[in-house]
Amino acid sequence: MRKQLRLSGSGGQGVITAAIIFAEAAVAEGKEAAQSQSYGPEARGGASKAEVIIDDAPIYHPHVEQPDIVLAMTQKAADKYYTDLKPDGLLVLDTDLVPEPPDFPNVIRIPITKLAVEQVGKSLFANIVALGAIAHLTGLVNFETVKESVAHRVPPHTVEQNMKALQTGWDAAAKK
Amino acid sequence: MSKARLMQGNEACAEGAIAAGVRFFAGYPITPSTEIAETMAKLLPQYGGKFIQMEDEIGSMGAILGASLAGLKSMDATSGPGFSLKQELIGYAACAEIPCVLVNVQRVGPSTGQPTAPSQADVMQVRWGTHGDHPMIALAPWSVRETYDATVMAVNYSERFRTPVILLMDEIIGHLREKVELPDSVEVYERRKPKKTRAEGYEPYEPDEDLVPNVADFGKGYHIHVTGLLHDATGFPVGSPKVTEESIRRLHEKIARAGDEIIHTEEYFMEDAEYAVVAFGGTARTAYEAVRNAREAGKKVGLLRLMTIWPFADKVIEQLAAKVKGILVAELNYGQVVHEVRRAAQGKCLVELCGKYNMKSFEPKEIEAAIDEMCARRDA
């Protein structure tokens, strides 16, 4: 069963890292995964988009055609990337950074960046909060596997904070 | 097999290079090839190799040629703007028969173009970018796993034929991460050593039976002279028509002799196909999905994927053209491989281009639509 995810925001928010970790978790569970991204030439700022396809069968065309879920961490990304969502797809928005939710039937708003600051201490962890939320909302990978993937990918001295961020995102999505 | 893991195409290229025995990398990082340099910088010291970030693209190419002459398997990676700058030294490597692998992860050009966007528009530059008659080997992988294999193959071919080999990647595969399982070991071609001593009359550029000379590495006790001027078996320039003609012929024939062995292609859904799509690199994956969808809709379409881009798969295309009514060439450019396919098809069937050059990779439905249009035109 193919699932297509798109994580979007601006350069520096860490959506590509979140997508890589999600894909790594899927691979750890024996699934096929294809992760790609598009971004501008800037190191910070500018539009940033990361995609993950998860499937049981081999994946040929490696880019998302119609996402099942779109995460948007900026207003600009929300406006740009929700348009080709499947009609029954899900749009996940950072409540504060996307003040004007696009007109889409299935929207979940989570104060992702605010939670990162309040619960973990830095907006830097917003991507992992988002990852926790996405992991819960998709149900594609086990929480324990995502935890392992996060621990494997982030710098060792930040593991504890990232675990907290992941849990915060997971719990926030669970309440929705 | 080791455990499955998520890996990026550019990382797989670096891993393949290490497995094939590359122990020297000089580069000037450029998007979308940067991760190759990053990974080599991390890996090479662990294997006793050397990584140098050079002052520019030309310096990088010069450094790998020097390292190769000194006996190390060497590699450099770049993208369009850097690839343009390296052309002169690619020709030097071809003429002086210096083994080396140059990776070109294609992005949109011309010039600085669109640094982060995919393209496949360097196909002809790979073949003819450097001046003069010269052979060329170029491989274009379509998956992360195949990038690993193709890099090993590129290193082996460069050593075996003593010629520059281009790994022609694209941004789609270079930046794609997917599940791979790497092999525990690979078949590696070790550079041949001189078969004679100086006393026995060793001449560095004397061709062996396969027309490839056994040039001694620098520092091994042999006197060698390396030049981009056309030279005889001694390695010293000779201004004669005979030596010139023989040299140019030998450079081509040493690779032509290997023939089909280095021309890798794959067919999918080709049985009873009346039409075919020809594609390579990242685009071939989209073409695969388009062809599979067309098959599901009852259309008799197949896919021929080119892994070896140069030398061109003339015979394979000629046979294909004799079998089908039409060939659609899908490539992320204004039309390059399509000209080669037309030449090789020799008018035996319709050959059409499905080109794209707007920063976006193909979507399956675009290639499906182009297949339908071609079929409609041909059957009209």
Question: Where in the sequence is the domain holding B366, given as residue range(s)?
Answer: 265-379
Are the C-beta atoms of residues B250 and B211 closer than 8 Å to each other? yes
Residue B98 banded pLDDT, cuts 50, 70, 90: very high
Domain count, chain A: 1
Number of domains in chain B: 2
**Cα–Cα distance, B13 to B101 (Å, whole number):** 11
Q: Note whether residue B260 is domain-resident.
A: no
DSSP 8-state symbol, A119: I
| Residue B328, φ and ψ in degrees, nearest 5 | -105, 120
- ipTM of the complex model: 0.95
The CATH number covering residue A165 comes to 3.40.920.10
Which residue of chain A has the CA closest to B360?
Answer: A38
CA pair distance B225, B234, nearest whole angstrom: 8
Cβ of residue B305 closer than 8 Å to a chain A Cβ: no
Range of the domain at A27: 3-174
Residue B322 lies in a domain: yes
Confidence of residue B1 (pLDDT cuts 50, 70, 90): very low
> Does A38 touch chain B if contact means CB atoms closer than 8 Å?
yes
- Asked if B254 has any chain A CB less than 8 Å from its own CB, the reply is no
Chains A and B: how many Cβ contacts under 8 Å? 59
Q: What gap in Å lies between CA B8 and CA B266, rounded to an integer?
A: 23
Q: State the smallest CA–CA distance between residue B133 and chain A in angstroms.
A: 37
Determine the distance in angstroms separating the CA of A137 from the nearest CA of chain B, rounded to an integer. Answer: 22
**E strand or H helix at B8:** strand B5-8
Interface test with B, best of A20, A53, A61, A66 (most B CBs within 10 A): A61
The domain that contains B341 carries what CATH number?
A: 3.40.50.920
Q: Residues A65, A33: contact at Cβ < 8 Å?
A: no
> In this structure, are B170 and B305 located in the same domain?
no
> What is the distance between the alpha carbons of residues B49 and B41, in angstroms, rounded to a whole number?
9
> What are the E-state strand segments in A59-99?
69-72, 90-94
Identify the closest residue of chain B to A53 by CA–CA distance: B178
**Which residue of B177, B292, B361 is in closest CB contact with A63?**
B361
As to burial, measured by CB atoms within 10 angstroms (0-12 exposed, 13-18 middle, 19+ buried), residue A132 is buried
- Is B6 close to A37, i.e. CB distance below 8 A? no
Return d(Cα A76, Cα A11) in angstroms, integer: 12
Cα end-to-end distance, chain B, whole Å = 52
Interface probe for A, chosen from B1, B179, B291 (most Cβ of A below 10 Å), is B179
| Close Cβ partners of B336 (under 8 Å, ≥ 6 residues apart) | B120, B121, B123, B124
Q: Is the Cβ–Cβ distance between B154 and B36 less than 8 Å?
A: no
Residue B244 C-alpha, separation from nearest chain A C-alpha, in angstroms: 46
Q: What is the pLDDT of residues B269-306, one digit of tens each?
A: 999 999 999 999 999 999 999 999 999 999 999 999 99
| pLDDT confidence of residue A46 | 77
B286: nearest CB among A33, A35, A61: A61
> Residues B204, B207, B209, B211: is their CA dihedral positive or negative?
positive
Averaged confidence pLDDT in chain B? 97
Give the CATH number of the domain where residue B42 resides: 3.40.50.970
C-beta atoms of B286 and A60 within 8 A: yes
**Residues of B with CB below 8 A from A20's CB?**
6, 177
Q: Which residue has the tokens 């008018």?
A: B347
Residues in Cβ contact with A123 at an 8 Å cutoff, skipping those fewer than 6 apart? A113, A116, A117
The string of DSSP letters for A76-103 reads HHHHHHSTTS-TT-EEEEETTT-SS--S
Kindly state whether residue B208 falls inside one of the protein's structural domains.
no
Which SS3 state, helix, strand or coil, does residue A134 take?
A: helix
Residue to test with chain B: of A21, A42, A59, A63, most B Cβ within 10 A: A63
* One domain, residues B32 and B171: yes
Is residue B176 domain-shared with residue B283, that is, in the same domain? no
Contact yes or no for B365/B265 (Cβ under 8 A): no
- Is pLDDT above 70 for B2? no
Distance CA B206, CA B48 (A): 32
Pair of tokens at residue A125: 């962890």
Pick the residue from chain A with its C-alpha nearest to B32. A41
Q: Do B178 and A35 touch (CB under 8 A)?
A: yes
Query: Residue B317: its pLDDT value, please?
Result: 98
How high is the mean pLDDT of chain A? 95
Residues of chain A short of pLDDT 70, as ranges, are: 41-44
Q: Which residue of A32, A40, A62 is in closest CB contact with B116?
A: A40
What torsion do the CA atoms of B13, B14, B15, B19 make, to the nearest 10 degrees? 100
Residue B360, SS3 per DSSP: coil
Query: Which among A144, A137, A141, A113 has a CA at the least distance from the CA of A127?
Result: A113
DSSP state, residue A120: I
